[in-house]
Chain A
Amino acid sequence: MSLLELRKLNKHFGGLHVTNAVDLTLQTGEIHCLIGPNGAGKSTLFRLILGEHHPGSGEIVFAGENITSLKSFARIHRGLSVKFQVPGVFKGLSVRQNLEIALQIRHRGAELEAEIDRLLAFLGLGSEQAQTAGNLSHGQKQWLEIGMAISLKPRLLLLDEPTAGMSPEETHLTGEMVQRLNADGMTVLAIEHDMAFVRQVAQRVTVLHLGQVFAQGSIDEIVADERVAAIYLGQAHA
């Protein structure tokens, strides 16, 4: 069963055709990775899904409902959640308060405090809870924002370059986190450049190039595809 369907999504910025008739279907329960060169339109596609940008034409269907004209916050209520490419934490507030702001939507009182503690442990940020979020390392900010995003118990989690700035060990840990969330029933769409991460988690991969779906398949099929190597992976490995 499909959870998200993008149908012929077009987006122009002035003369720039950033997404060009993008068709993409996500199956419920899968971990799907979106790869492609810088400027391919990956982050823009996320912003279209989230309602921050509106497509010139095309449709977005989520869980059977056409959400193309819904406001962003209403899409979140339907079960979408995101971690942005540039970590969007509340910099001036403590780590704990960041999570509280996300978790207070579903929990109150003592239950809320317990949920914050649980999430801190899951993210490995327990000893950082009193820190101001702006003082965290880049990797920790990524985790904190992932924590906020999953607080909503979304049906579909969008991750835009979740492992940027992380060491290989941290990247692997993040992969395990994503797999645990997926095991609990969360569908995941992740934009990534780190092919080790993609190999670790992805059940399917889509390559976006110049705003168009360029290739789609398992990680092995994508890596073996010479056309993909020519436009993206070749340079990544170079």
Chain B
Amino acid sequence: MTGFLSLFRRLEGPQTVGRGPAFWGLFAVVLAVALVYPLVSDGYTVGNTVYFFVWVFIALSLCLIWGYGGSLSFGQTAFFGIAGYGYGILTINFGSAYGFTLVALVVAVAIAALFAILLGYFMFFGRIAGVFLGIVTLAVTLMLERFMAQTAGPEWRIGSARLNGFNGMSAMPPLTIPWPGEPIVLFADVGLYYFVLGLLIFVYLGLRMLMNSSFGNVIVAIRENPERAEMLGYDVRKYQLITFVIGAALAGLSGLLYTVWGQYITPSSMGMTAAALPLIWVAVGGRSDLTSTVIGTLMVLAAFQALTIYGSQYALVFMGVLLVLTVLIAPNGLVLGAMNWLGRLAARLTQRIG
């Protein structure tokens, strides 16, 4: 019981921006709005919001590995694709009855995590770090993209699931929750919205607790000075590997939800552009803070989509400009910079009043 309570106390701490009644009050308001919103909106807009939410998981994975852990992975999309394809292959073969899509969800994410254990072991225990870690992870995701792109022929099938090369896989069943009477099918509107929102809140709060725990302390210590961390008796490579695997699972979850949302997955989801975009969201938001990452990702995605209406070339230029601005104005992230500024302002105001 006390252990349970101390877990909740870990919702705030030095590793996460936001504390006290003001923050959690605001959190409750945002949550209430998020819960009510699908009831007053149309199916298309809700589905579009789910699409935004889906990307937040891969952003959080990068926030964890890069922002907190200090290892820049350029290949989170590899896990995104593996879990996405994994879900497709599993559900096309075994269908959606008896809650199998939920089993496929767990299995697909587990496959991504398993792959991360192998890759991570090779990298961290082979002492690959810094820019080389970025290069290796990027190479892996591009290799997977190339590989999947050449699977157009009919010989590339796993059971009854055709891989379909560059066109990708489609028509996998949506998530389906078994229910007495009629199973609940989570189509890409209100149903999937609540499911993904629930996952998002769970992951966000879970990561807050993790990062403010003694484990989180070690992760940021390794980012600051791996040698010092080792000389306090921490097995640095083990901690790096665990962080990498958790991040891979989150990226996998992202890819899986993306596949579920659109009922398709293509090799380009593991390509260069796909790999670069999460880096920009996270850098612009504030890579070393979970809340900044969530807000930044949603804001950049919304802006990107709004601009895409006028042509995707403008949207990409906008992303570039945004990244340059971030580096120049607030290297730790625009949202994080703004939140810290607001925090200082609030502190000064309460001081003056008090």
Residues of A near any B CB (own CB < 8 A): 50, 52, 71-73, 76-77, 81-82, 84, 88-94, 97, 100-102, 104-105, 109, 145, 148-149, 151-152
Contact = CB atoms under 8 A, between A and B. Distances in A.
A76 B233 contact: yes
Contact of B232 (A71, A92, A152): A152
Contacts of A145: 228
Task: Say which size band chain B's interface belongs to.
Answer: 20 to 34
A73 B217 contact: no
A105 B234 CA distance: 9
Contact of A93 (B224, B227, B231, B234): B224
B20 interface: no
Contacts of A90: 220-221, 224-225, 228
B233 A152 contact: yes
Given A100-B217, A101-B218, A93 B14 contact: yes
A89 B229 CA distance: 9
28 contacts: A50-B231, A52-B227, A72-B231, A73-B230, A73-B231, A73-B233, A73-B234, A73-B235, A76-B230, A76-B231, A76-B232, A84-B228, A88-B227, A89-B228, A90-B228, A92-B223, A92-B224, A93-B14, A93-B220, A93-B221, A94-B14, A97-B14, A100-B217, A101-B217, A101-B221, A104-B214, A105-B232, A148-B228
Nearest to B214: A104
Contacts, number: 63
B179 to A, nearest CB: 43
B236 interface: yes
B6 interface: yes
Contacts of A91: 224-225
Contacts of A101: 217-218, 221, 229, 232
Contact of A104 (B14, B217, B229, B230): B217
Q: Which of B217, B221, B228 has the most CB of A within 10 A?
A: B228
A72 B238 CA distance: 13
Q: Which of B221, B233, B236 has the most CB of A within 10 A?
A: B233
A116 to B, nearest CB: 12
Given A89-B225, A93-B224, 9 more contacts: A73-B236, A76-B233, A88-B231, A90-B221, A90-B225, A93-B221, A97-B217, A102-B232, A145-B228
A88 B229 CA distance: 9
Given A73-B236, A90-B220, A97-B14, A109 B228 contact: no
Interface string B320-352: 000000000000000000000000000000000
A57 B328 CA distance: 51
Contacts of A94: 14
Interface string B232-252: 111110000000000000000
B69 to A, nearest CB: 13
B225 A88 contact: yes
B87 to A, nearest CB: 38
Nearest to A51: B230
B231 A82 contact: yes
A89 B225 CA distance: 7
B68 to A, nearest CB: 11
Contacts of B229: 101
Contacts of A71: 235
Contacts of B223: 92
Nearest to A104: B214
Contacts of A84: 227-228, 231
B230 A72 contact: yes
Given A89-B225, A92-B224, A93-B14, A105 B233 contact: yes
9 residue pairs, one from A and one from B, having the closest CB atoms: A76-B233, A90-B224, A88-B228, A104-B214, A73-B235, A101-B221, A101-B217, A72-B230, A73-B233
Q: Which of A71, A73, A91, A94 has the most CB of B within 10 A?
A: A73
Interface string B285-299: 000000000000000
Nearest to A71: B235
A92 B219 CA distance: 13
Contacts of B227: 52, 84, 88
A81 B230 CA distance: 10
Nearest to A96: B14
Nearest to A151: B232
